[in-house]
Each structure stands twice: as structure tokens, then as C-alpha cells.
Chains A and B, each alone.
Chain A
């Protein structure tokens, strides 16, 4: 079945700096790679996703890159702001529609 590993588990960056979170997956048939953000006390919400026919996708300050050969994808946040503080999850989608999440990264932005 699908296995997803996410690193790091915690990340603290200075406001204005960049943050990078990485996930590796095991199902070589996977073709959809999303990132979810969960603010304190709230539900997770999709912030960006990528499909396997592209290597990178950007949306303002966030981007996702995909390396299918190495089976990993990463979330990049540039010019971090206080509102970026949250827990971020990657997810692995298996061919059986089973959706497994990484263990999460708690991102803190230092003023």
C-alpha cells in the first residue's frame, strides 16, 4: 500500500525567509500530489496540488515541485509571513483511492 514520509516534523524560520517541506511516497502509480494546511483548531484545507504531468506549480508565494524518479515532492513557501504558521500535510493517493497523509510539519514563523 501507499506509504508517505514527511520531513521535517517541525520547522522554525525567520519572517521573510523561505521554508521547504519534503515528502516521499512509495506508490509509483501515484499521479496526484497535494499539500494541505491546518491552522490551529481548524480543519485541513488544500493549498496547492500538482499532477504528475508537470514538474512544478506556483501560486503566489507557494510552490510545489515533483520528482517522480526519486518519488518525492516538496512544498516551498517564500517570503514567509506570520499567517503561514500552521501544520502542513502532504498526501499520497493510491490506485485504490486510499489517501494517506504524511505525519505533518509544524511551521513556526519567528518575528
Chain B
């Protein structure tokens, strides 16, 4: 398995509290992604990064922010958690294929289950 770890793996929090999920990689991959997975919705892209300090929005970015200050870490922050953000969050990394856009395999972390009460 690719060297990717997510923390925490499980978290229960209350509405209105801030939450930060961490994705850490040891592969020195360029691309990092955050997805959420909910029943009936598959994997939806929240934010992604194509380099240190380079990030962009995905399909469902409202209520989320990200930061990537170094290659190995990609942080996902919920500034004020809501019950609609209860989900399983997956981080994924990719080395890319050498071109200007990523066309490489994604390697996923084990997921972080977040429950917002």
C-alpha cells in the first residue's frame, strides 16, 4: 500500500465546532485530494492540491477549506461543522504521469469517519 495515513480515523463532534482532518503521505507525490463518501452519492471531490500551496475547489467545497504547506501534508478544515458534513472522508494521492495534468493512479487512505451531532 502507498504510504498514506489519515488522522483521526474516527471523530464525533458537535455542530458549530471546528474540525481538522489530516492526510499525511511518505511518497512525495505531487497531487493530493480530499473526497467525501455518502450513501447514494459515491465519492465527491471537496478540494485538491497540485503542489505545495497550490489548491483548488472540487464539486462540494462549500464549508471546507484546505491547506498544504509542505508536500507530505494536506489538511482539510471544517470551520464550523454541520450535521450535513457527517460523512466518511477519504484522502487520495497521485504521482501524476509527468504531463501538465494528472493522469495517474489514485491511492486512497483508509478514510476518516466524522459524525457531527
| Residues of A bordering B, CB below 8 Å | 6, 31-32, 34, 36, 43-46, 49, 51, 89, 91, 93-104
Contacts and interface: CB of A to CB of B under 8 A. Distances in A.
A54 to B, nearest CB: 14
11 contacts: A31-B103, A36-B106, A43-B108, A89-B43, A93-B103, A97-B31, A97-B96, A99-B102, A101-B35, A101-B43, A103-B41
Nearest to A3: B59
A6 B90 CA distance: 20
Most chain-B Cβ atoms within 10 A of its Cβ — which of A31, A99, A100?
A99
A104 B101 contact: no
B105 A34 contact: yes
A3 to B, nearest CB: 10
A89 B42 contact: yes
B108 A97 contact: no
Interface residues of B, number: 29
A32 B102 CA distance: 9
Interface of B: 31, 33, 35, 40-45, 48, 50, 56, 58-59, 90, 92, 94, 96-97, 100-103, 105-106, 108-111
B101 A96 contact: yes
B105 A46 contact: yes
Contact of A97 (B41, B42, B50): B50
B45 A49 contact: no
Contact of B42 (A31, A51, A104): A104
Nearest to A90: B42
Contact of A45 (B41, B43, B108): B108
A101 B58 CA distance: 11
B31 to A, nearest CB: 6
A98 B109 contact: no
A96 B103 CA distance: 10
